[in-house]
Amino acid sequence: MFRDLPALQKIIRQLQKVPYLASKNVYRVALYFLQEKNSDIELLFDSILDAKKVIKNCSTCFNLTENNNTCSICSQNIRDKSVICVVETWYDLNAIERAGGFNGVYHVLGGALCPLEGISADDLNIESLFKRIDNNVSEIIFATNSTPEGEATASYISSKVEQLNLNVKISRLASGVPIGSSLEYMDRVTIYKALSGRRPF
């Protein structure tokens, strides 16, 4: 397609590398860029490059943080550092924060175990979680998604935590989280209820 427009093909090829961009939208986005003012396109790409320079992962929980090693949640004194809520992604962390009512801290795994896609424990922020767990930690709450991958990840980590032989309570979000669903897309009330009615894992 568009063999007479190699420059356009080049944009399309780059856009096709962007995940989450539906393939039918790639052409629309390419045309949008072609019609936009150069200054607006520069603003867009500069903002991405600038953000990449200043946004990084919190050295403790792997939440996103700007210009600091510690994120805004870990650096709050009022947060209960003895309760760690384990989530798959930054989106899930934000879903729980939006729901409100959780005063502990988080650990963002960066995904879930998925042998079929070659995602093993080494690819996730799991080792760093074990390093955080000491006698000062009273509870680990698994808020991984209720997908087979999310459940397998919670099982794997909890069995390892048990082997640490510390007095740590391990819990899981209460039922009410629809099977196969992502926290990211759930409403605040459901998340709040699931968190307050959590059960032993």
Footprint of Zn ion (CB under 5 A): 58, 60-61, 63, 71, 74
CB of 106 to Zn ion, least distance (A): 7
Nearer to Zn ion, 61 or 124 (CB): 61
Q: Is 104 or 190 the residue whose CB approaches Zn ion more closely? A: 104
Q: DSSP state, 62?
A: -
Residue closer to Zn ion, measured from CB, 30 or 129:
129
- Smallest distance from Zn ion to CB 71, Å: 3
Is residue 139 within a helix (H) or strand (E), and if so which, with residue range? strand 139-142
Between 57 and 155, whose beta carbon lies closer to Zn ion? 57
Give Cβ neighbours of residue 101 (< 8 Å, ≥ 6 apart).
192, 195, 196
- Least distance CB 116 / Zn ion (angstroms): 30
CB of 56 to Zn ion, least distance (A): 11
Q: From CA 118, how far away is CA 115, in angstroms rounded?
A: 5
Report residue 184: phi and psi, to 5°. Answer: -50, -35
Sequence-separated contacts (24+) of 27-36 with Cβ below 8 Å: 34/8
Q: Closer CB to Zn ion, residue 61 or residue 96? A: 61
Under 8 Å between Cβ of 121 and 160: no
In the complex, minimum distance from the CB of residue 87 to Zn ion, in angstroms, rounded to a whole number: 12
Instruction: Please name which of 61, 52, 191 lies closest in space to residue 128, comparing C-alpha atoms.
Output: 61
